[in-house]
A and B are shown apart, each in its own frame.
Chain A
Amino acid sequence: DVKVTQSSRYLVKRTGEKVFLECVQDMDHENMFWYRQDPGLGLRLIYFSYDVKMKEKGDIPEGYSVSREKKERFSLILESASTNQTSMYLCASGLTGGGTDTQYFGPGTRLTVL
C-alpha cells in the first residue's frame, strides 16, 4: 500500500525560528514535491525534486529551501519563519514520466507561525 508520511500533523512556531518539515515515502518514487494549500488559492508548488540531491523551484520558492539526501526523504526548510508562512503543507511523491502516474500525498502539516 502506498505510504507518504510527514513528521508532524500540527506545528506551532515563532517568527524567526528555523523550521524543518520532513516527508518520507516508501514507494521508491523518483519524484517528490512540496506544496502549500491556502483557502481560495489551491495547491501551490514550492519545490520539487526528480532525484537525490536534485531540486527545482516551483511557483513560490521564496522563503523556503529543500534537501534531498536520500531517495525516500524530502525535507522542506523555512530558514526564518514568518507569519505569512502559516499554512497547510502537503508533501507528495510520484514516478517519473507521463501516463497515469499520479502523485500520492502525505497527510499534511498544519503550520502556525506566531
Chain B
Amino acid sequence: GQNIDQPTEMTATEGAIVQINCTYQTSGFNGLFWYQQHAGEAPTFLSYNVLDGLEEKGRFSSFLSRSKGYSYLLLKELQMKDSASYLCAVRPSSASKIIFGSGTRLSIRP
C-alpha cells in the first residue's frame, strides 16, 4: 500500500529553526512535494524534490533521501505567519496523481 507519515503537531519559537520530517512507502516514486496550508485556506505549493539532496528556497529548504524514503522541510528564522499545517506529498508514478500525508500542524510562539 501507500503510506506517508509525518508528526501531527510541532511547536517552535519565533526566530528559531524547525525541521519537519516525512517518511514514505509508495509503490513507486516520481517526486515529493511540500505544501503549506493556513487554517481555513487551500494548500499552496512550497517545494519539490525528485533527486537526493537539499533544495533551498529562501527561508525554506527541503531534503530528500530516496534510499531511505525520507524527506524533511527546514524552516529558518521562523515568523508568526509560518504557523500553519505542512503537508508532505508523493507522486508514485509519472501520472499526476499525488498522495498526501495527514499534515503537521506547526505552532509558532513568541
Complex formed: what's the CA distance from A31 to B95 in Å? 10
* In the complex, chain A residues whose CB is within 8 Å of the CB of B103: 42
| B43 contacts the other chain (CB 8 A) | yes
The size bracket of the interface on A is 20 to 34
Whether A102 pairs with B87 at a CB distance below 8 angstroms is: no
Chain B contact residue count (CB 8 A cutoff)? 24
Q: Which of A45, A100, A102, A106 contacts B97, CB < 8 Å?
A: A45
Q: In the complex, which of the residues B43, B48, B94, B96 contacts A95, with contact meaning CB atoms closer than 8 Å? A: B96
Contact B42 A107 (CB under 8 A): yes
Q: Which of B52-110 contact A (CB under 8 A)?
A: 87, 91, 94-103
Q: A41-B102, A42-B87, A98-B30 are in contact. Are A105 and B44 (CB under 8 A)?
A: yes
Q: Which of B1-55 contact A (CB under 8 A)?
A: 8, 30-31, 33, 40-45, 48, 50
Q: How far is the CB of B80 from chain A (nearest CB, A)?
A: 23
Q: A43 interface residue, CB < 8 Å from B?
A: yes
Query: In the complex, what residues of A have CB within 8 A of residue B96's CB?
Result: 31, 48, 50, 94-97, 101, 103
CB closest chain-B residue, reference A44? B100
In the complex, the answer to whether B48 meets A42 with C-beta atoms within 8 Å is no
Q: Which residues of B contact A101 (CB under 8 A)?
A: 96
Looking at the assembled complex, report how far the CB atom of A6 sits from the nearest CB atom of chain B, in whole angstroms. 9
**Would A99 and B31 count as touching, CB distance under 8 A?**
yes
Extra A-B contacts (9), CB below 8 Å, given A33-B97, A106-B42, A108-B41: A42-B100, A44-B100, A97-B96, A98-B50, A98-B94, A103-B45, A105-B43, A105-B44, A108-B42
Q: CB within 8 Å of A: which residues of B?
A: 8, 30-31, 33, 40-45, 48, 50, 87, 91, 94-103
What are the 9 closest A-B residue pairs judged by CB atoms, nearest first? Answer: A42-B102, A105-B42, A43-B100, A102-B45, A31-B96, A98-B94, A100-B48, A98-B30, A42-B100
